[in-house]
Structure formats: C-alpha cells, structure tokens
Amino acid sequence: MANLGFVGLGVMGGQMVSRLLSKGHTVTGYNRTRSKAQWLIDKGMKWADSPRAVAAAADVTFAMVTNSAAIASVTEGPDGMLAGLSAGKIFVDISTVSPSVSRALAAKVREKGADMVDSPVSGSVITLQEGKLSVMVGGRRETFERVNPLLLDIGPKVTYVGDNGLALAMKIAVNLSLAVQMMAFSEGVLLAEKSGIARETAVDVLTHSAVASPMIQYRGPFVLQQPEEAWFDVNMMQKDMLLALELGRQLDVPLPTTAVSNEFLTAARGMGMAKLDFAVMFDVLARMSGISK
C-alpha cells in the first residue's frame, strides 16, 4: 500500500482517488474548493491545505487539472507542488496540457531531485467507474516501472509510450478523434432524420453498427438528451483540439477534419453551449440543417 497525494479532485480526479482509497492506499488530497472533496474525506482521504502540503506528505503525487495555466497554478509559487517535492519523490501529471509545457515542468521537478511522468488517460467517468480506463505514460522507464502498479489500480490498460511529453502527444491524438467521430456521427443521424427516419431510430442503428466505437456507444445517445453534468464539455474539448492543431503545425501534419470539427466547437461556444458536453456539436449541425431540437 502506498502513501499517495492527489491535487485536483474534480469529476475524474475524485473518482480516481475513490478507486485508490478502495485499493487500500493512503491518499492526501487538495482541491481549490474543499466542499467538492468532502465525500472523499468522508471515505478516508486526508485533507491538505495546499498543493505543497500534498507533495510534502506523499511519496507519489498525482495531479489532474484542466489546462496548462492550471498546472502552473498548482505547481509554482510558495504553496505549489514544486516547493513540496524532494529527492526520491515522484510526480504523476494526469492533466492534458501542451507536451512542451510538460517537458519544461519535468525539468523543474528533476531540479528538486524528484522525477515526473506525464500520464493522461483515455475514457470517461463511466469507463473509470467500470474499471476500463486506458492510461498512457511518458518519462523515464525506471520511473514508469515504479508507478505502474499504482496506475493499474486506476485503469487496467497502462502503456509506456516513451520520453516525457510523448504520452501527452498520444492523448492529443486520441482526443482529436473523439470530436471528429462525433461530427461524423451527427452528420449520419441528421441525414437519416431529414430522410424521414426518427432520430431515436437513427441513433439506435448507428450505435449498434460497424461505426459504433466505444465513444459513439456511450456518447451517441447524448444527441437525444444531454447528461445532467457534462462528461467533457465544449471548452475542455476545444482546448485539446487547439493543442492538436498546434502540434500538427509544429510537426507539419495537416489535420483537416480536426480543423473543421474545431469550428463547430467554436460555434457551440458562440451559441452559449460552452459548458455542455461536446456532443452538443450535433445541435449546431442540426440548426444549420433547419432542425430545432
């Protein structure tokens, strides 16, 4: 059983901590809003008043925050995680940020005598709860070997992909496909609907057809009814699409379907849908098709 820390106890981070606690690990946690972490405290998680305190208390500290600015806010400064790290400790960053930002942070971690891996995940709250999450890891192999058993307690599929930043590149490659698939699915549903097929029927057929990836199977029904709480909202998805487009420009890889799908996310934001699950791309295309939901 390990002495762990966790910074960022949102929907996904909180569920990860719950799994780690259920495996018998000691977890010290911090979240910007303590009230959102109360259910974890009730389950036995220890509370710390700052990211620094979390890193100081734990041997391995995880973080899962929204973007590059957020990871800077929890790692830098007198109360940041860097101030709490020391020789032998490990930082596992689950956040999806720019690979270059992550590499620069890893260099700062190593200056403290600690080490860092980037370890983004692929999946949703449902796949996490079902124990089906996929985990990618970038960093030194010896550090990966040390944290691999812990990551297996979060998800059953853990893949070492190479040096620091490469797991993030892989995650970005995965996530651009989510939006592109959602766009294609929306086109199919609307083409069927305007042909005279009930939307519910079209969704049922497509989610049980050859095009039904796991993402389409669990998110496709969102075109009929959005979830009460977004699993992955428009703003979060667009952040990852912009990371993909930036990486594509750096590597001279054209990403035409990514670019088009990204514009529909911009349209969704313009229509006031930024906080809804990114499946709301369907609603944008529906309005363009003359269909009101």
Interstrand relation of 46-47 and 121-122 (parallel, antiparallel or unpaired): unpaired
Per-residue b or e along 178-201, where b marks 16 or more CB atoms closer than 10 Å to that residue's CB? bbbbbbebbebbbebbeeeeebee
Q: In this structure, how many other beta carbons lie within 10 angstroms of the beta carbon of residue 148? A: 15
> Active site includes 46?
no
Bridge partner residues of 169 (DSSP) = none
DSSP code for 135: E
Give CA–CA dist 154/18, Å, rounded: 9
**Catalytic site residue from 171, 239, 275, 293:** 171
Tokens 């620094």 sit on residue: 52
Bridge partner residues of 6 (DSSP) = 29, 62
Give CA–CA dist 16/30, Å, rounded: 13
Strand residues in the chain grouped as ranges (E): 3-7, 26-30, 46-47, 60-63, 90-93, 115-118, 121-122, 134-138, 157-162
Residues involved in catalysis = 171
